[in-house]
Amino acid sequence: MDTTPGWAGQALKGARPAVFWSDRPDAPAAAPTLNESVNADLTVIGGGFTGLWAAIQALEEQPGLKVVVLEAERCGFGASSRNGGFCDSSLTHGLENGLSHWPDDLKTLVRMGRENLDEIDETIDRHRIVADYQRAPGVDVATEPWHVDALEHSKDLHAEHGLDVELLDTDTMRARVNSATYVGGLLHKNDLALVDPGRLCWGLRQAAESLGATIFENTPATAVSVDGTKIDVTTPGGAVRSERVLMATNAYPGPVRRPRRYVIPVYDHVLMTEPLSSEQMSMIGWKQRDGIGDASNQFHYYRLTEDDRILWGGWDATYHFNNGLDPRHDQQDATHGVLAEHFFETFPQLEGLRFSHRWGGPIATTTQFTATWGTTHEGRLTWVAGYTGLGVAASRFGARVGLDLAFGTTTERTELEMVRKKPFPFPPEPLRWAGVQMTRKAIQTSDSHGGKRGLWLRLLDRFGVGFDS
């Protein structure tokens, strides 16, 4: 029962507890369920962006390869169709995070991230995927004076790495998007695309199938075992025997335990408004249709859709004890209520606008906020997970590296320290839960104290670990 007061509470009444991007009548029919035993060259477990990009890239490079994708639910069931659709070139969860972990590789990582985004553009064109995909300016907005200092520093760092950015003063920022909460901004000119992630999943699934992949939906992988030179993946209706397996289940545990030390599921929540009228659009400006994030540690992200709705998400990232995953976590009245209140604080001129959808989903995070890779089962199974909140574009790179490792190919990518070295593992429960709660609290305190990092955050910084969404 939602008890959010005022306009925010009114606006939430009647919002469908469903993911806007996939809550559509034009969803494709389900792929078949595996009900026999089959052979393949490559088995992919998980049909989100990582799994689908793995199938596409493997088949574009090795036409004729026999690729089977096993998806427990429907392709895109996980984070891939629940996200904000910010397709950002960064492979390192932002430049600052990249600098703190991989200073020696950062130039290479920036180049690879930009190439990856260009190749996403090209693939979408080549396969004629209709997913409202377009390059868009990105803006980090400052809503507190201390954010302005942080953005100035960020501007210098981006410029040093050849990224095209521009500082916006209060008036310029407010003229761009009309919110009295803004005191400045940092415009990123060339490193973002916005996309409808649900339709991107459907388009990637179709592209993979057109290249020859066989996709089974409603087919969870339940066990994996090596038999001589082959690896078997068991599902309730049959097994797949292949040379190699790529496990791409991200926040979900999958049939192999190894990633669970390094990757935890964290829930992020989203609201979608009804379409804005032309009068409401003229009250907020937003003519360049920027993808926006605010510069707090605990941040909001927001954007317009094709039909002039506003997607508004972020703020409170929640971890549930023992890597808890449950569809009930998708709907959190308190979190959705706070998000709605923040929405109307940012855009009070939109009072009266209602939310049509509310949802949440699990982000997979590591202590360094980026993907990590590993191999098990005598090198026959490769896994990749952990993009945190920036996996829409990075999942293509994650899949590409996963294929390098699965096929035993040494490349510039596999030589990156980010790929070779694992992040610091999360401690076991109950320390894991306690550590995450302490860190969340410390982040909130930092935001309300001008960004000053207290003792706990400084200690974590020293060990190169943290918690983010």
- Tell me the two tokens of residue 128: 């004629």
Indicate which single residue of 186, 270, 436, 457 sits in contact with ligand FAD (rule: CB under 6 A): 270
Residue 242 binds to ligand FAD (criterion: CB under 6 A): no
Which of 46/203 has CB closer to ligand FAD? 46
Residue 77 binds to ligand FAD (criterion: CB under 6 A): yes
Residue 251 binds to ligand FAD (criterion: CB under 6 A): yes
Residue closest to 347 by CA, chosen among 28, 8, 73: 8
Q: Residues touching ligand FAD: how many (CB under 6 A)?
A: 42
Largest CA distance in the chain: 67
- Tell me the two tokens of residue 203: 């388009």
Helix (H) or strand (E) holding 304: strand 300-304
Residue number with the smallest Cβ distance to ligand FAD = 391
Alpha-carbon distance values, 209 to 46, 55, 60, 78, 240 (Å): 15, 9, 12, 20, 17
Residue ranges in 155-214 that form contacts with ligand FAD under rule CB under 6 A: none
Which of 176/303 has CB closer to ligand FAD? 303
Which of 7/355 has CB closer to ligand FAD? 355
Residue 138 binds to ligand FAD (criterion: CB under 6 A): no
Q: Which range binds ligand FAD by CB under 6 A, 80-88, 114-122, 135-143, 324-332?
A: 80-88
Which of 7/267 has CB closer to ligand FAD? 267
Residue 133 binds to ligand FAD (criterion: CB under 6 A): no
Residue 71 binds to ligand FAD (criterion: CB under 6 A): yes
Please give the angle made by the CA atoms of 158, 164 and 165, to the nearest 5 degrees. 70
Closest distance to ligand FAD from the beta carbon of 221 (Å): 4
The phi and psi torsions of 319 (rounded to 5 degrees) equal -105, 135
CA distance 283 to 277: 10
At residue 414, the 3 state secondary structure works out as coil
Residue 356 binds to ligand FAD (criterion: CB under 6 A): no
Residue 51 binds to ligand FAD (criterion: CB under 6 A): yes
Amino acid identity of residue 249, one-letter, is: T
Closest distance to ligand FAD from the beta carbon of 449 (Å): 27
Bridge partners of residue 291, in order along the sequence? 138
Show the site string, 24-43: x = touches ligand FAD by CB under 6 A, - = not: --------------------
Residue ranges in 85-124 that form contacts with ligand FAD under rule CB under 6 A: 85-86, 88
Q: Which residues, 6+ apart, have CB-to-CB distance to 13 below 8 Å?
A: 2, 354
Three-state SS letters, 245-270? EEECCCCCCCCCCHHHHCCEEEEEEE
Closest distance to ligand FAD from the beta carbon of 32 (Å): 14
Show the site string, 310-349: x = touches ligand FAD by CB under 6 A, - = not: ---x------------------------------------
Indicate which single residue of 94, 255, 435, 466 sits in contact with ligand FAD (rule: CB under 6 A): 255
Closest distance to ligand FAD from the beta carbon of 277 (Å): 26
DSSP string, 346-377: H-GGGTT--EEEEEEEEEEE-TTSS-EEEEET
Residue closest to 164 by CA, chosen among 135, 193, 188, 141: 188
Terminal C-alpha separation, the chain: 26
Indicate which single residue of 220, 259, 435, 466 sits in contact with ligand FAD (rule: CB under 6 A): 220
The upper half-sphere exposure of residue 202, i.e. CA atoms within 13 Å in the direction of its Cβ, equals 16
Which of 83/372 has CB closer to ligand FAD? 83
Indicate which single residue of 21, 47, 154, 191 sits in contact with ligand FAD (rule: CB under 6 A): 47
Q: Which residues bind ligand FAD (CB under 6 A)?
A: 45-51, 70-73, 77-80, 82-86, 88, 220-221, 248-252, 254-255, 268, 270, 313, 361-363, 387, 389-392, 395
